[in-house]
Chain A
């Protein structure tokens, strides 16, 4: 039998096809010319704004690795906001250009890419951040470079408490305010709770917030079970959950939300106990993979893709319809918008209002921009389809409306709407 293995020379030949002839040279020239001609065609914003210098807005998102699915949808929200802003004449007459960086779902990469955005790309401000551990790693970089950072997804409590800094703002909710809103309802469902949580910064800080608020509301947390982030088979951890309590409360997001939803059901935990948790478990993008196993789950969320009250406004309908079209372009299954789309959309719009109020020209006006954003009142409408918000001056944390909803048959049913004023939690931030 002949040896079919190739010799090194044959393999080299596979890659190197021969000397450059006049014909190939002309071919290369034609290709280069075509690329060059394409580059001469002005970008859409150049056609609309002439020579106005664009604002450069950096956005760190997980576009590969564990958080990639969420990062992709988050970017849809940001792009929607920027396109809308540019279509309406930009900010202060200048267009907005997004500079996107992929943090690869890793804190060290995230920090390096943030430094690149701020030092080399010289962005004017930043809107983004998805995974809490990456947001935490990058917070000092914004402070060192004195650049405004609009956190658009990260939920770790300490971002606006013990690790707060005056350059970072969170335009969406955080665990303590959700816990304040949800704990009284949880205690009505049952007095004793067991918390299962994603064992990393966000999960741990959210667990502490709920343990505290459930106790204040007259209930009790009888046990907690941490499960490492990204665990594919949670069964050995979930099998430990037993005892005399009324409800199981889950704190997970993304694919971990799908895993716990499936595996807690498979082990009978969601039938034996009341089943509630952070709305991220049953995010609209998770529902197809959860099927009927998530039926009966009650979660709290700032945003769910429904057109019933309180989301029955024309502004939300407009946002919803456009998001559906854009999401279909990145996922053929046609997912509905989730809170990551909403939060990125609204964080960019909040920045726009701050930049307009402060007549922001560039980084030299960062202090003015911070002043404009502190205490910003955001009114429900096209910029903020989710609802009214207040960006508190003391810790740069927003307070907004929450909805408690049940999932059944792959659909959400709003059970209760909590007004933003009922979600306020005292500030625990001291800017240095």
Chain B
């Protein structure tokens, strides 16, 4: 009884609503990061360990473009395109030669890219964190807090980017090529789809999505060479929980995990570190009971 009291001490309806909003906002950013990761895995069977660094590189590109042009929106668009191109170049030079080899080689290759990009950023930009100024600085009153509009803008933009990407996959000619390649690579190639270039495009789109999330999230944390590490681990969990290569599942898993973490941080009976463990608990339970992912039917 005492434990229950301790757990729910200080909990209120206000806090519940605030944490729900926090969970959804964080979930949408995570979904954007994880979408790129799941796309790359779904198409190429490549676990991209450099995804966090593409997120970081996007944020740094955002800093540079913002400093040059003064426009956040231009920074968002250009950073996405530039990192998308860098992603394409990385795929052609590093991952394409490894197609058909042991999957371990691609893991090691992307891990190597991750280390190179991280240390390059530290060498090029130095240890001092940089700032991306958010385009909106207004707030609205949410119970006892002033809630920044910008957080809602991030959630909305993430949803719009993911929605646009989904439309592209569903109705666009090249989106159909990507889906066909995901379903059956050999048959897609037999039908005349240029599979290697679909791989390159998928990697570039995934990299661009990571870069966009880096620019969007940059104003909340500052830009530094390890900012991607915080997100990529969670994005991996989301991809596994949502079902490897399953876009809808990843989005649902991102929101579920972020909501669970936000609610867990309200409990007075567990420490903050334990609240963060929630996502790992979900991961372990998923692997034990639904190894193909929470949002994918388990094969009979």
Spell out A's residues near B (CB within 8 Å). 1, 3-6, 8, 11, 14, 64-66, 68-70, 72-73, 199, 225-228, 230-233, 235-237, 239-240, 242, 255, 258-259, 262-263, 266-269, 271-272, 285-286, 288-291, 330-333, 335
Q: Which of A4, A66, A258, A271 is in CB contact (< 8 Å) with B196?
A: A4
- Which residue in B126, B197, B262, B266 is a CB contact (below 8 Å) of A333? B126
- Contact A332–B125 (Cβ < 8 Å): yes
Closest to A6 in B: B97
- Of B196, B229, B265, which one neighbours A5 at CB under 8 angstroms? B196
A237 & B225 in contact (Cβ 8 Å cutoff): no
Give the residues in chain B near A64, CB-CB below 8 Å: 118-119
Cβ of B173 within 8 Å of any chain A Cβ, yes or no, is: no
Write out the residue numbers on chain B whose beta carbons fall within 8 Å of the beta carbon of A4. Answer: 96, 194-197
Contact A8 B230 (CB under 8 A): no
- Chain A residues with CB below 8 A from B219, complex form: 262
Please tell me which one of the listed residues A233, A262, A269, A330 contacts residue B126 in the complex, with CB atoms under 8 A apart.
Answer: A330
Residue pair A1, B221 in contact (C-beta under 8 Å): no
Residue B100, interface by CB 8 Å: yes
Q: Is the CB of A199 within 8 A of B271?
A: yes
Q: Is the CB of B222 within 8 A of A290?
A: yes
Are B19's CB and A239's CB within 8 A?
A: yes
B227 touches A255 (CB 8 A): yes
- By the criterion CB–CB under 8 Å, are B151 and A69 in contact? no
| Also in contact, A286 and B126, with CB within 8 A (given A228-B273, A258-B221) | no
- Interface-centre pick from B98, B131, B225 (highest chain A CB count, 10 A): B131
Contact indicator A285/B127 (Cβ below 8 Å) = yes
Report yes or no: A232 in contact with B225, Cβ–Cβ below 8 A: no
Contacts of B189 in A (CB 8 A): 1, 3
Are the CB atoms of A331 and B128 closer together than 8 Å? Answer: yes
Complex CA gap A263/B221 in Å reads: 8
> Which residues in B have their C-beta under 8 angstroms from that of A263?
220-221
B122 CB within 8 Å of chain A? yes
- 4 closest cross-chain pairs (CB), A and B: A331-B126, A268-B146, A289-B222, A69-B127
- Beta-carbon contact of A240 and B266 below 8 Å: yes
A259 and B122 in contact, given A8-B101, A236-B22, A289-B129 (Cβ under 8 angstroms): no
Listed A/B pairs (23) with beta-carbon separation below 8 Å? A1-B189, A1-B193, A4-B194, A6-B96, A69-B129, A231-B230, A232-B227, A233-B22, A235-B22, A236-B22, A236-B26, A237-B272, A239-B15, A240-B15, A240-B266, A242-B144, A242-B145, A258-B221, A258-B222, A259-B220, A268-B139, A285-B129, A290-B131
Give the chain B neighbours of A288 by CB distance below 8 A. Answer: 128-131
B47: interface (CB < 8 Å)? no
Q: Assess whether A68 is in contact with B226, with CB atoms less than 8 Å apart.
A: yes
A329 to B171 alpha-carbon distance, docked (Å): 51
B194-236 residues with Cβ-Cβ distance < 8 A to A are 194-197, 217, 219-227, 229-231
- CB proximity of B106 to chain A, nearest CB, Å: 13
Q: Is the CB of B226 within 8 A of A255?
A: yes
- Count A/B pairs, Cβ under 8 Å: 165
Q: Is the CB of B221 within 8 A of A65?
A: no
B148 touches A255 (CB 8 A): no
- B53 interfacial contact with A, CB 8 Å: no
CA distance A69 to B222 in the complex (A): 13
Cβ contacts under 8 Å, B221 to chain A? 232-233, 255, 258-259, 262-263
Cβ-defined contact, B127 with A331, below 8 A: yes
Q: Which of A8, A70, A269, A289 has the most CB of B within 10 A?
A: A289
When the two chains form their complex, are residues B19 and A66 in contact, meaning their CB atoms are under 8 A apart?
Answer: no
| A259–B229 CA distance with the chains assembled, in angstroms | 15
Chain A positions within 8 Å of B262 at CB level: 236
Smallest CB separation, A251 vs chain B (Å): 13
Chain B positions within 8 Å of A286 at CB level: 129, 222
| B122: A residues at CB distance < 8 A | 68-69, 72
A187 vs B262: C-alpha distance when bound (angstroms): 32
- Write out the residue numbers on chain B whose beta carbons fall within 8 Å of the beta carbon of A333: 125-126, 128, 130
A330 to B127, CA, bound (A): 8
Residues of B within 8 A of A72 (CB): 122, 126-127
Is the pair B97, A289 in contact by a Cβ cutoff of 8 Å?
no
Known: A230-B230, A258-B221, A267-B147. A69 touches B128 (CB 8 A): yes
Contact status B139-A240, CB under 8 Å: no
B99 within 8 A of A: yes
Chain A residues near B222 (CB-CB < 8 A): 255, 258-259, 262, 286, 289-290
Q: How far is the CA of A237 from the CA of B264 in the complex (A)?
A: 10
Q: How far is the CB of B57 from chain A (nearest CB, A)?
A: 16
Q: How far is the CA of A332 from the CA of B63 in the complex (A)?
A: 14
B126, B144, B223, B229 interface centre (most CB from chain A within 10 Å):
B126
Bound complex: CA A268 to CA B142 (Å) = 11
Q: B residues within 8 A CB of A3?
A: 189, 195-196
- In the complex, the chain A residue whose C-beta lies closest to that of B263 is A236
The reply to whether B100 and A285 contact each other, CB–CB distance below 8 Å, is no
Point out the residues of chain B lying under 8 angstroms from A267, CB to CB: 145-148
Docked CA distance A235–B146 (Å): 12
Interface residues of B in 242-300 (CB under 8 A from A): 261-262, 265-266, 271-273, 276
Any A CB within 8 A of the CB of B23? yes
A284–B219 Cα distance when bound, in Å, is 19
Q: Tell me if B128 and A236 are in contact (CB < 8 A).
A: no
Please tell me if the beta carbons of B271 and A226 are within 8 angstroms of each other in the complex.
yes
